[in-house]
Amino acid sequence: MKLNTLSLSIMTMGALAGASLTAHASGYHFGTQSVSAQATANASAAEATDATTLFYNPAGMTRLQGTNFSGALNLVAPSVKYNNASASYPTQPYAAQPLPNGVTVPAGLNRSSAVSGSTSGKLTDDLLAVPHMYLTHQLNDRVTVGVGVYVPFASSTEYQRDSVLRYNVNQTSLTTIDINPTVAFKLNDQHSLAIGLIAQHADASLRQYANFGGSANPALNSLIPGVGGGHGNSDGYADVEGKDWGFGFNLGWMWEIDPTARVGVSYRSVIKHSLKGTADWTTPATLAGQAAASRGYIDSDVRVDIKTPESLSVHGFKQLDSKWAVMGDVTWTRHSRFDSLSINYSQPKSAPYSASNF
């Protein structure tokens, strides 16, 4: 058995994010699955010298003799911050409100205004541990099998609860773990093919804020205690959790042109998820909050639909002499499949929340 010692690597990630009203969830794509690949800037897919070739190009498994294991633990230290953020409430109508004394507060508009709160902060945890493990075994001169257990995508972001961007998806945490059994066939001395099944487990948690006071007459705050009318005076939020298994496949082809040169192509499919779980709503103790609960903003089942993206890689390797080699890799990943989160609540909800509901 050939054992590639479990390795530890540390990566840092930095970014500065400005204000945005679109919820993005592309997160971290862990295209680096081995320390040796990091040492070559991920250009070594056609090298196929250890068990991590199962991820980069599974057809390369036919180059490995006997049994091989490779593992890595990546410690990722992200630094993602935002500053100068701003957001505005929309203009919303509120209904006429009859009072017990016979006076009617007329209908009107809760006009657009700036969201108050923190305009800068940090979005990520300080440290993430990401493990990867690969095992291959040569059955005979032409067939090699293997299995990989690894993290292809993960995301963890959280705005402050008082952030001006809190009505976006305020907090997201998404982790995917792939179990990837694969078989590779050596068609002849030059060409190898591989196919594998990907069973992907996704676990997500989200927090989403809502502005329940937007359609309540702010003038009522001085007339009736605890109304909570006006933008930002009756915020509530939902904590959402969901889990799901999704399935896809990976393919690989490698052409060994001669003992010193080879090229390859690999493909990983899109994987669809419909994460099912629960939404736990917290509504304020104002009349606006009570009205929100009566209109469907209560604990319920929830579904979150996501797709993790497909990728296509073309790569090559050329051994120049005993000390030098040239290698390269071009990988396309369709990140646009993974740029937003859609939260679907089973409990029907109605809006706006007019003062007449109090």
pLDDT digits (tens, 9 = 90+) for 139-174: 999 999 999 999 888 777 788 888 888 887 778 888
Region for residue 50 given its phi and psi (left: phi exceeds 0; alpha: psi -120 to 50; beta: otherwise): beta
Judge whether residue 197 has pLDDT over 90: yes
The pLDDT mean for the chain works out to 78
pLDDT at 232 over 90: no
| Among the listed residues 33, 73, 67, the one whose alpha carbon sits nearest the alpha carbon of residue 53 | 33
Q: Which of 53, 47, 83, 84 is nearest to 69 (CA)?
A: 53
Q: Per-residue pLDDT tens for 281-305?
A: 888 888 888 877 777 777 888 888 8
DSSP string, 233-300: SSEEEEEEEEEEEEEEEEEEEEEEEETTEEEEEEEE--EEEEEEEEEEEE--SSHHHHHHHHTT-SSE
- pLDDT over threshold 70, residue 25: no
User: Quick check: 116 pLDDT over 60?
Assistant: yes
In the prediction, which pLDDT does 229 show? 77
Rounded average pLDDT over 27-50 = 67
Strands 342-345 and 128-138 turn out to be unpaired
CATH code for position 236: 2.40.160.60
Per-residue model confidence (pLDDT) at position 21: 27
Tell which wins on pLDDT, 41 or 20: 41
In this prediction, residue 17 carries a pLDDT of 32
Q: Is the predicted pLDDT of residue 231 greater than 80, yes or no?
A: yes
Looking at the 3D structure of the chain, how many domains does it have?
Answer: 1
Overall average pLDDT of the 224-232 stretch:
79
pLDDT band at 252 (very low <50, low <70, confident <90, very high): very high
Residue 23: the pLDDT is 33
pLDDT at 318: 86
The secondary structure of 63-88 as a DSSP string is G--SEEEEEEEEEEEEEEEE-S---B
Of residues 290 and 190, which shows the higher confidence score?
A: 190
Please tell me which residue, 54 or 212, carries the higher pLDDT value: 54
pLDDT of 98-109, one tens digit each?
766 666 777 777
Confidence band, pLDDT 50/70/90 cuts, at residue 10 = very low
Q: Which residue has the higher pLDDT, 115 or 179?
A: 179
pLDDT at residue 236 tops 80: yes
Confidence of residue 64 (pLDDT cuts 50, 70, 90): very high
Quick one: pLDDT at residue 98?
72
Stretch 314-340: mean pLDDT, rounded? 82
Between 268 and 221, residue with greater pLDDT? 268
Give the pLDDT of residue 266: 94
User: What is the percentage of the chain residues whose pLDDT exceeds 70?
Assistant: 81
pLDDT at 316 over 90: no
Model pLDDT, residue 126: 66
Containing domain of residue 204, as a range? 2-357
Output the pTM of the full model: 0.76
Residues, the chain = 358
Q: Which pLDDT value is given to residue 339?
A: 65
State residue 283's pLDDT score: 84
